[in-house]
């Protein structure tokens, strides 16, 4: 059975050596000293390794079962959910007045990575609840907040997001679900929603569905979509549970992975719903959930890559097969461990350098969200808005590829289910799809975010990279190993953006045909920047005579690998982008 060790040491490094969270002036960050974050991370790591990780294969094997409208979650899920609930882990960053712990988002994200790595299907139950609670927090009336949030904070009630319908996923303007106004101010919601994660299950007293629907007579298409709160059980005025609402789970899907999470077809049959936010402004309200959810999904990509990597390393050290080409390294044994072989190391370093770079990128993103929300920092808001599709798209694509690499280290044992490596790959696959398929992320990035506010945010990004390089060029080792490759990669990103500017105006396809490559190019530059920042921090720690010398030396070696071995991908992406639209648009549909 695979195991999971929480990356507490590495997370601490990112939080304190790189992001300097406790000395930042973001409100609430002062309490994030190393001792405090360490205590939280250690405890979260313990639950992840000891409670959630052993349940991961159980969830995969048993899956969820629908019987007579009731969904049974896998053995042990309910007890583990209670443990999380009782430990106060389900609402770290919600406000205290609504039952949360008011911790910065950055710490909630670091903890979320651990939960997600140890059991993605399980963690989705409270992850989605958190997203739904955030939307109510941002758009709900005071009564709605008081009614729902405290119960959602401790997951006595869980939450869902209902967007997709059978005929529309990305293009929500085609939506058919209706919400008809009633005399008492409520609505009757009717329609079918599909792919609803945690739509029905047996771990909570109530389930609060957030449902997109159209109010008849409203504007056509996406502009006529509103958001509704539809509880599974109606809630009485005193907060107690009333009668069952007209919402039922019609089916749970057979999926490639995340079997432990119930993916439901939800049927709304005149269910009572309550408008959340303004009429016809449903998409705006939903995006509160979506942006957070997208960063959470990027986190899942990293998380599955890390747990898969950890198990690949363990196997590579343990499995004896072949001999090192430079001479036996285990002369008393029948063969050397796999880890002596250069190509196994190449694979493991691709994984390790991604995981650590991605973790820094993700936590930096979370810090920007805190700066934006808690500090009202508009520059931070612009930057994270720009980078959200990169975090989602790049980290999930790469994260998936890393699980495939990790699985490969096991040879045939990676393909059979017994060793658990297949599950990491199957579970990681969904992250490239949900919360907006990665092609849609690329479209959002190039079609929308890049030119937002006159291109101000991407210019700020380039400026930040340039400034970082300039300020640190005096460090010669850093310059040669980190800054020079970063400068080169950043040039490729700028050349791509320039190409889009020069060609996209007269032919938007010239930009969109390169959108996917741009998203990956951007991702590599972000990881390159994070590695440069980590490199700087590691050199500084070594100069300061840090006790944990080996940690910092390993960090530098891993970073050098990323800069030399992964960053060269940027020139390939640039070449693909500069090949333009014609090659992509030339064929008629019937020529495919």
Tokens, residue 484: 């020079």
Q: Does 392 bind a copy of itself (CB under 8 A)?
A: no
Neighbours of 237 (CB within 10 A): 8
* Interactions with a copy of itself, residue window 194-213 (CB under 8 A): 194-195
How far lies 458's CA from each of 175, 234, 294, 386, in Å?
Answer: 33, 46, 19, 7
Q: How far is the CB of 469 from a copy of itself (least distance, A)?
A: 20
* Interactions with a copy of itself, residue window 403-432 (CB under 8 A): 404, 407-408, 411-412, 414-418, 422, 425-426, 429-430, 432
Of 256, 459, 480, 498, the residue at the interface with a copy of itself (CB under 8 A) is 256
SS3 212: strand
Q: Does 586 bind a copy of itself (CB under 8 A)?
A: yes
Residue (69 or 411) nearer to a copy of itself, CB: 411
Q: Does 161 bind a copy of itself (CB under 8 A)?
A: no
Exposure string over 472-482, b if 16+ CB within 10 A, otherwise e:
beebeebbebb
* Residues 421/308, Cβ–Cβ less than 8 Å: yes
SS3 54: helix
Q: Does 253 bind a copy of itself (CB under 8 A)?
A: yes
* Interactions with a copy of itself, residue window 549-578 (CB under 8 A): 550, 553-554, 557-558, 560-561, 564-565, 568-569, 571-572, 575-576
Q: How far is the CB of 296 from a copy of itself (least distance, A)?
A: 17
* Residues 71/252, Cβ–Cβ less than 8 Å: yes
* Residues 268/250, Cβ–Cβ less than 8 Å: no
* Interactions with a copy of itself, residue window 513-532 (CB under 8 A): 513, 515-516
Catalytic residue among 165, 200, 356, 435: 435
DSSP readout, 98-148?
GT-----HHHHHHHHHHHHHH-HHHHHHHHHHHHHHHHHHHH--HHHHHHH
Q: Does 434 bind a copy of itself (CB under 8 A)?
A: yes
Distance CA 561, CA 531 (A): 10
Tokens, residue 557: 């070696």
> CB-based burial of residue 571 (10 Å sphere; 0-12 exposed, 13-18 middle, 19+ buried)?
middle
Of 76, 95, 169, 250, the residue at the interface with a copy of itself (CB under 8 A) is 169
Instruction: Give yes or no: 278 in active site.
Output: no
Of 66, 138, 168, 460, the residue at the interface with a copy of itself (CB under 8 A) is 168
Distance CA 66, CA 57 (A): 19
* Interactions with a copy of itself, residue window 283-342 (CB under 8 A): 313, 316-317, 320-322, 325-326, 334-335, 337, 339, 341-342
Q: How far is the CB of 241 from a copy of itself (least distance, A)?
A: 31
Q: Does 587 bind a copy of itself (CB under 8 A)?
A: yes
Q: How far apart are the first and last CA of the chain?
A: 44
Size of the site for a copy of itself (CB under 8 A): 95
Q: Does 433 bind a copy of itself (CB under 8 A)?
A: yes
* Interactions with a copy of itself, residue window 3-62 (CB under 8 A): none
Q: Which residues are catalytic?
A: 435
């Amino acid at each position: 059975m695979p195991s999971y060790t929480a990356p507490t040491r590495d997370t601490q490094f990112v939080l304190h050596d790189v992001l300097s969270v406790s000395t930042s002036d973001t409100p609430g960050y002062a309490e994030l000293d190393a001792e405090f974050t360490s205590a939280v991370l250690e405890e979260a790591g313990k639950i992840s390794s000891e409670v959630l990780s052993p349940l991961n294969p159980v969830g995969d094997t048993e899956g969820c079962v629908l019987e007579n409208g009731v969904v049974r979650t896998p053995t042990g899920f309910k007890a583990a959910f209670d443990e999380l609930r009782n430990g106060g882990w389900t609402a770290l960053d919600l406000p205290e007045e609504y039952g949360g712990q008011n911790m910065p988002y950055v710490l909630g994200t670091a903890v979320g990575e651990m939960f997600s790595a140890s059991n993605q299907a399980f963690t989705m139950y409270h992850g989605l609840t958190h997203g739904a609670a955030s939307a109510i927090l941002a758009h709900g009336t005071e009564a709605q907040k008081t009614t729902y949030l405290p119960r959602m904070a401790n997951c006595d009630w869980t939450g869902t997001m209902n967007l997709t319908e059978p005929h529309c996923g990305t293009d929500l303007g085609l939506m058919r679900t209706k919400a008809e106004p009633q005399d008492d101010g409520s609505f009757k919601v009717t329609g079918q929603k599909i792919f609803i994660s945690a739509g029905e299950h047996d771990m909570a007293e109530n389930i609060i569905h957030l449902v997109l629907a159209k109010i008849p007579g409203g504007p056509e298409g996406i502009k006529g979509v509103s958001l509704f709160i539809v509880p599974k059980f109606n809630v009485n005025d005193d907060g107690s549970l009333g009668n069952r609402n007209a919402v039922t789970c019609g089916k749970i899907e057979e999926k490639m992975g995340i079997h432990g999470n119930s993916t439901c077809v939800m049927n709304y049959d005149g269910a009572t719903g309550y408008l959340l936010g303004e009429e016809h402004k449903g998409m705006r309200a939903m995006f509160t959930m979506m942006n957070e959810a997208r960063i959470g999904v990027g986190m899942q990509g990293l998380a599955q890559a890390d747990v898969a990597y950890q198990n690949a390393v363990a196997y590579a050290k343990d499995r004896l097969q072949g001999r090192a080409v430079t001479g036996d390294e285990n002369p008393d044994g029948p063969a050397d461990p796999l880890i002596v072989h250069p190509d196994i190391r190449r694979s493991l370093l691709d994984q390790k350098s991604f995981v650590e770079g991605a973790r820094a990128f993700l936590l930096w993103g979370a810090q920007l969200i805190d700066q934006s929300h808690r500090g009202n920092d508009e520059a931070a808001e612009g930057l994270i808005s720009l980078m959200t599709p990169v975090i989602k798209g790049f980290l999930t694509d790469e994260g998936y590829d890393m699980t495939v690499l990790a699985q490969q280290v096991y040879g045939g044992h990676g393909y059979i289910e017994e060793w658990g490596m297949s599950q990491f790959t199957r579970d990681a696959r969904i992250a490239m799809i949900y919360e907006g398929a990665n092609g849609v992320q690329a479209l959002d990035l190039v079609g929308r975010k890049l030119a937002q506010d006159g291109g101000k945010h991407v210019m700020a990004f380039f400026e930040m990279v340039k400034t970082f390089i300039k300020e640190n060029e005096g460090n010669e080792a850093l310059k040669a190993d980190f800054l020079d490759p970063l400068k080169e990669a950043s040039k490729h990103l700028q050349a791509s953006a320039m190409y889009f500017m020069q060609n996209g105006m007269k032919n938007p396809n010239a930009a969109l045909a390169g959108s996917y490559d741009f998203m990956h190019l951007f991702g590599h530059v972000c990881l390159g920047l994070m590695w440069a920042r980590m490199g700087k921090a590691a050199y500084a720690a070594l100069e300061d005579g840090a006790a944990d010398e080996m940690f910092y030396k390993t960090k530098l070696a891993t970073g050098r690998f990323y800069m030399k071995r992964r960053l060269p991908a940027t020139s390939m992406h640039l070449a693909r982008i500069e090949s333009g639209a014609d090659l992509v648009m030339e064929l008629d549909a019937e020529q495919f």
